């Protein structure tokens, strides 16, 4: 109407991320549940297994990674469902720019809200397991590369199960097997460092998975959303 300016793809990306972050800030309970769930699971292990240092140190990477995997499942169901229910998703699909970019923005915001807090919390929890500083460093690097993959792969599942009854369980069944490589390389990196080897190979493979996910998952998720909208 009056002096409408064109929107670039980057503007759109920024708009979606900002919007989802504002929404998350105004619904803080959702964010906190993911984080508290993560802390709970990880803290239960030393209590259940007993305080034997060697064993705790050995299982720490696996426990932290599995806990991160499970807690990221918690928030995936909400990734698209709110937008689906109030009709915003319809408007997003009619966006004249690419839907994939919109989806990428939602993935990024999801990671900042549910993945990043886990990464920041992990070193504190690692101390409970008496992990060495070097192992903690690799754990953080691995989680930094790995948690975005969980958000991106999870988004495909979230899009496919949109609007289904009992979608949450189905979502976990769909996504968890796909995340196994991330778990193997992420936990493997920490174990390698603890065993005196280099973590570089594990981390590079995680990096490769990250790039692969970054390229393909937004498009696949966009297609899945179109199927779910019919």
Partner 1 sequence: MLEVSNLACSRGDHRLFSGLSFTLRPGQIMQVQGANGSGKTSLLRTLCGFMAQDEGTIAWCGEKICDLDEDYYAEMLYLGHLNAIKDELNALENLRISAGFSGAKLDEKEALSALRRMGLRGRERLPTKALSQGQRRRVALARLLVSEAKLWILDEPLTALDVGAVALIQELLGEHLARQGMVIFTTHQPLQVAGIEMHSLSLP
- Residues making contact with partner 1 (CB under 8 A): 1-7, 11-12, 15, 19, 22-23, 26-27, 82, 85-88, 90-98, 102, 229-230
CB of 94 to partner 1, least distance (A): 5
Q: Check: CB of residue 80 under 8 Å from CB of residue 162.
A: yes
Spatial neighbors of 81 by CB under 8 A, at least 6 apart, are 158, 162, 163, 167
Tokens of 41: 């699971």
- Nearest one of 29, 66, 69 to 45, comparing CA atoms: 66
The helix-helix angle for 99-110 and 133-160 (nearest 10°) equals 140
Nearer CB in complex with partner 1: 9/74? 9
CB of 192 to partner 1, least distance (A): 44
Nearer CB in complex with partner 1: 25/173? 25
Nearer CB in complex with partner 1: 26/133? 26
CB of 6 to partner 1, least distance (A): 7
Give the separation between CA 39 and CA 128, rounded to whole angstroms.
11
CB of 91 to partner 1, least distance (A): 5
Nearer CB in complex with partner 1: 27/58? 27
């Amino acid at each position: 109407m009056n002096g409408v300016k064109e929107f670039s793809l980057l503007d759109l990306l920024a708009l979606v991320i900002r919007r989802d972050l504002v929404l998350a800030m105004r619904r803080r309970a959702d964010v906190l549940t993911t984080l508290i769930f993560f802390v709970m699971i990880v803290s239960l292990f030393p209590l259940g297994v007993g305080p034997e240092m060697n064993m705790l140190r050995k299982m720490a990477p696996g426990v932290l990674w599995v806990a991160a995997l499970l807690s990221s499942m918690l928030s995936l169901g909400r990734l698209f469902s709110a937008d689906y229910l109030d009709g915003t998703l319809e408007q997003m699909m009619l966006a004249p720019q690419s839907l994939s970019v919109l989806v990428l923005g939602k993935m990024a915001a999801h990671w900042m809200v549910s993945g990043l807090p886990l990464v920041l919390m992990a070193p504190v929890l690692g101390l409970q397991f008496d992990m060495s500083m070097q192992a903690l460093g690799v754990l953080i690097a691995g989680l930094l590369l790995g948690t975005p993959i969980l958000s991106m792969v999870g988004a495909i599942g979230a899009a496919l199960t949109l609007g289904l009854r009992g979608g949450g369980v189905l979502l976990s069944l769909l996504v968890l097997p796909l995340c196994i490589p991330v778990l193997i390389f992420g936990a493997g990196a920490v174990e390698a460092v603890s065993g005196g080897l280099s973590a570089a190979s594990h981390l590079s493979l995680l990096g490769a998975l990250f790039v692969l996910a970054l390229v393909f998952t937004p498009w696949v998720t966009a297609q899945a959303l179109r199927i779910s909208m019919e």
